[in-house]
Structure formats: C-alpha cells, structure tokens
Structure 1
Amino acid sequence: MSYILGVPRYANTAPLYHFLEEGEGLVFRYGVPTELNRWLLEGEVDLSLVSSYFYLKNADRLRPLPDFSVADLGPVYSVNLFHRKPWSELRHIALTTESATSVRLLHYLLERDGLEVRYTHEQGGLELLERYDGVLLIGDRALSTYVGLLSIVPESVHQIPVQPGGVFVSDLSMRWFTHTRLPFVFAVWATRSHEPPPAEVVRRLRVARSLGLGNLAAVAGTEAQRLNVPERLMQHYLWNFRYHLEAPDRLGLEAFASAVGLRYPNCFWEV
C-alpha cells in the first residue's frame, strides 16, 4: 500500500523534497496549502506540509513532526501585500485563496495597527489593484510578481526596494519580526494524531532535506529556471528559510497561537 505525501509545489519547499524520490511505497500528491490541509483531515494524504494556522486550529486532530518547518526570520519575500496606498490607508483588500495562515497573519497585523479593513477572496494578480487597495499574494506568484517589479537585480539584499514600480510591497513576515523579534512558522509536516508516521518515511525526509540544503545552489537553479527569476535572487530567497523547527521557531509558533487566540499544544511525534 502506498504512503501518500502532500506537497505544495512552491520554491520555498523545494529544498525539502528536491532529492526525495517517489517509489518504495511513497507517492506525492501536489496541491496548494488550503487543499493539502483539507486532504490531510479527510484522509486523502497521510503526511503533509500543512499551514501553521490550520495545524493550530486542528491541534486535537493533528500532530507534527518534531524537527521540520517552513519558517523565516525577517523578510520572506513571498508572502506579500501589494498596495498602492500606504499601509495606514488600506480599507479593502483582495485575498489569496491558497493559504489560511497568510490571511490570518494579515488580519492580525492590520488589527494590531487599529485598521478596519474589508476583505474579498479573489483570484488574480496586480490587476486587482484597479479595484482594491491591496492584494495579498503568496508563494511563487508573490515572488515572481515582486521580481517583475524590479528594474534591476540588486547586488545586495539591503538594496532591494520596498516600493518597486510605484507599488508598496509589505512583507508580512518582516512586519511580524518587527513586532515580535521572532521567526514566523508558515508550515509544518503533520499527520493525523492517531496515525504516527513510519520511521522510514521520516528518515527519507531527513536525508532529502540534508541533500537539499547541502546542494542549495542546484535546487535554486532548478527553481529559478522554473519561475524565470534570477538565480542569485532565488539563492538568497532559499537561504532565508528555516527548515528544522528549532527553539526560536517553536517560540514564534507559540507567539502566533497566542496572537490569534489559539492554544499551542507543544506536542510532537517522537521519531
């Protein structure tokens, strides 16, 4: 019988599975985070990367692996609110339908700043700014959209503009860091709480991650070609991520749970 792994096909998750091969009982099923969340609860996948907000909301039904995450300390570059008005003047925002975590983080950041904003779920890109004050994009689309606004490829991360092409780009992970000085955890590997993951599958995931991080230039080259973005920017983008759910990441996850009124269970599989 096959063991089904739920995988979001985003560049920032590629180091986790670039060197992981299907076969020997392991099968991939690709989807966006909201699909993967649903599939895991419904039993259509056995182990999946799920969004952190979804995990926290369903902590009684899910349990994560102890040492895997997709997290970031500071700017993430791919969870962006694009807007033409300043942050303090935002009143109506178009939301991605791909990620519950990014949407909830945006709600929290705006509420914390005392802003009353209306939200509409819409598919699309920057053309939505003709009808909305801002549009939230995540993952590959957010990264490609941001790169598309750049007139030149910066030599240094400190030269990356925050208003390229006259469009404000608010990086939600950076806003979280400015407020908390903690990493933000976007996703964890999790299974249903009554179905522990096979040790061999976890071993293969750990080996694949080691190979991915040890050969990050190769992973970045593949993803840069796929998305048609400069390889140097892709390398920096992937360097930023934290994939091991270390102590600072767990503190960040706990802080996010508290910020959105959820319980942090601090309960992981022992594998």
Structure 2
Amino acid sequence: MGYVLGLPRYANVSPLHHFLKPEGFQVRYAVPAELNRLLLSGEVGLSLVSSYFYLKHQEALGLLPDFSVAVLGRVYSVNLFHKGRLEDLKRIALTTESATSVALLKLLLKERGLEPTYERAEGELELLSAYDGVLLIGDRAIRAYAALLPKVPETPHTLPTRFGEVEVADLSTLWFQRTRLPFVFAVWAYRRENPPPKPLVQALREARREGLGRLREVAEAEAQRLGVHPALLQHYLWNFRYHLEEPDRLGLQAFAEALGLPFRPVYYPG
C-alpha cells in the first residue's frame, strides 16, 4: 500500500484537492474527528487535521509549513444556531465531527462567564426543538444556513445572522472580535517518523494553485453537490486562507495559549 493521504469531504477544503492527481499515494476520506484518530494510529500518513488535535499532539507531529484552512472574520460554516441570547443558553447540542469547533465554542462562552450544559447529538436544526443551541460545522452548517436564507444578496456584507427566532453566531467572528487574528481550523500534519514524500507535497501545492486559480469552477461543483446557490459557495471559499502565513501562525499560537498549551511546531523541511 502506498502513502495514505487523509481528507475530509468538506466544501471548504475543496480548493486544496479538487484538481489533485493521486499518483503514487492513496486518499482516505473521513470527518475530522476520524482523521485525527487515523493519523495517530498510523492508518494515514499525512492528513488535514483539526488545529485543536494538532496542538494537543504536536510533540509527535510535524506540520506542513505553508498550508492551512483559516479565516479572518466570518467563516459561515462553524455556527452556533440558537434561540434567545447567548447569555441565556442552558443546553447546547454539539457536533460529533470536530474537536476544534467544540473547544473554540467552550472557550468563547467561558470567557463570557457562560458554562451551559453541552451534549453530543446527531442532527441539524431540528435539534433546536430540544436544545437552546446547536453547533454545526462544515457542509451541515452551510446547508442549514442556506436553508434559512430567503435569497442570496448582491453583496455578502448583507448576509443576515437572524432568521425569526433563530440567530446564527459565527465562531470565527467571535474569535476575531476577541483577538483581531485569523482562526486556523485545520492544518496538514504527519507523524514525525513518517514524513510525506516530496512528490506528494508538491502535488498538493500544485492542486491548491489550480484550485484557487479556478475557484469559480470549484465552487460550482461544490454548490451542486450541496444543493446551494453557487454565488454563496464562491464567496464562502474565497474567504479562506490556505497558506498558513504569519497572521495565521499568530492566530494558531493565540489559540494554543488560550487553551493553556505550548506552541512548538516542527515544520516539514521540504
């Protein structure tokens, strides 16, 4: 078996792999929480993993130095859908797909002096009949938001965050208001004893270059897959930061510090 690459099937990572040519390696798709486990077990060699997972296990992991899935400001797909004020939330249903989003939500609410009850639950907005809030991420969050949206406005600056009694709290926006830094949701990581071959890293860089250069094409394909308006998907995708530049590294370090974790990355040398 060749080197195994781990990927989540989320629209926000599609520019990284839409044009990827898997020659000499295999691709395994799973949700972030599962990819975290597969990387630790050695079942995948290089994987997009949640930043929370990376920070917790960074002593064992290496990091590609120029890749990220990050946002400065609103992300649109890590959302707490809730009724009433944040201060009044008592029970929140949590996604089972991502540890980073859960850790970020708890951090942001705790800093406001809020400690509601958190429960893992499968479902989408129907959970609001039993909970005060529900945390959705990735494609589920995009579909849920799009379903509430009466129409796609001409400019994304007018995209609403309130729909009747349901309000949408974007966690990346709350992070930006707190830090004025990007939030890094995912990074490419590998076990240090099993670094990815150089041709694979080069293939990922080439796929990203192609994906960002042909973003409208990528967005239209993802919009069709999700059943949402392509203009909404295109804005969503061009909002991301995929290169782990210095502001992103500072954001990742700030997240580590907020969690009480060190930040000592070891970067892939190639």
Whether TM exceeds 0.5 here: the answer is yes
Segments of 5+ residues of structure 2 without an aligned counterpart are none
CA deviations over 1:44-84 (Å, ceiling 9, x no partner): 11110000000000011111100000000000000000001
TM-score, L = length of structure 1: 0.98
Residue equivalent to 1:109: 108
Contact kept in structure 1, 2:45 and 2:195, CA below 8 Å: no
CA deviations over 1:118-142 (Å, ceiling 9, x no partner): 1000000111111111000000000
Residue equivalent to 2:14: 14
Question: Is residue 236 of structure 2 the alignment partner of residue 270 of structure 1?
Answer: no
SS in 2 for 1:115: coil
CA distance in 2: counterparts of 1:256 and 1:152, whole angstroms: 35
Contact kept in structure 2, 1:74 and 1:177, CA below 8 Å: yes
Contact kept in structure 1, 2:69 and 2:187, CA below 8 Å: yes
CA distance in 2: counterparts of 1:127 and 1:84, whole angstroms: 12
CA distance in 1: counterparts of 2:269 and 2:89, whole angstroms: 45
Percent identity over the alignment is 62
Residue equivalent to 2:130: 131
Residue equivalent to 1:37: 36
Residue equivalent to 1:95: 94
Contact kept in structure 1, 2:32 and 2:49, CA below 8 Å: yes
Superposed displacement of residue 227, structure 1: 0.4
CA deviations over 1:237-269 (Å, ceiling 9, x no partner): 000000000000000000000011111113211
CA deviations over 1:84-117 (Å, ceiling 9, x no partner): 1211111110000000000000000000000121
Contact kept in structure 2, 1:47 and 1:191, CA below 8 Å: yes
SS in 2 for 1:55: helix
Residue equivalent to 1:62: 61
CA distance in 2: counterparts of 1:151 and 1:240, whole angstroms: 22
What is the aligned length? Answer: 270
Question: Is residue 24 of structure 2 the alignment partner of residue 25 of structure 1?
Answer: yes
Contact kept in structure 2, 1:149 and 1:165, CA below 8 Å: no
Name the aligned partner's letter for residue 102 of structure 1: S
Name the aligned partner's letter for residue 266 of structure 2: C
Contact kept in structure 2, 1:150 and 1:165, CA below 8 Å: no
Superposed displacement of residue 270, structure 1: 1.2
Residue equivalent to 1:251: 250
Superposed displacement of residue 25, structure 1: 1.7
Map 1:60-209 → 2, pairs under 5 A: 60-209=59-208
CA deviations over 1:202-238 (Å, ceiling 9, x no partner): 0000000000000000000100000011111100000
CA distance in 2: counterparts of 1:189 and 1:251, whole angstroms: 17
CA distance in 1: counterparts of 2:197 and 2:27, whole angstroms: 15
CA distance in 2: counterparts of 1:266 and 1:62, whole angstroms: 8
Residue equivalent to 2:223: 224
CA distance in 2: counterparts of 1:164 and 1:77, whole angstroms: 15
SS in 2 for 1:9: coil
CA distance in 1: counterparts of 2:153 and 2:140, whole angstroms: 20
CA distance in 1: counterparts of 2:187 and 2:101, whole angstroms: 14
Superposed displacement of residue 166, structure 1: 2.9
CA RMSD of aligned residues (A): 0.8
Contact kept in structure 1, 2:62 and 2:265, CA below 8 Å: no
SS in 1 for 2:119: strand
SS in 2 for 1:20: coil
Segments of 5+ residues of structure 1 without an aligned counterpart are none
Question: Is residue 52 of structure 2 the alignment partner of residue 53 of structure 1?
Answer: yes
SS in 2 for 1:259: helix
CA distance in 1: counterparts of 2:207 and 2:2, whole angstroms: 19
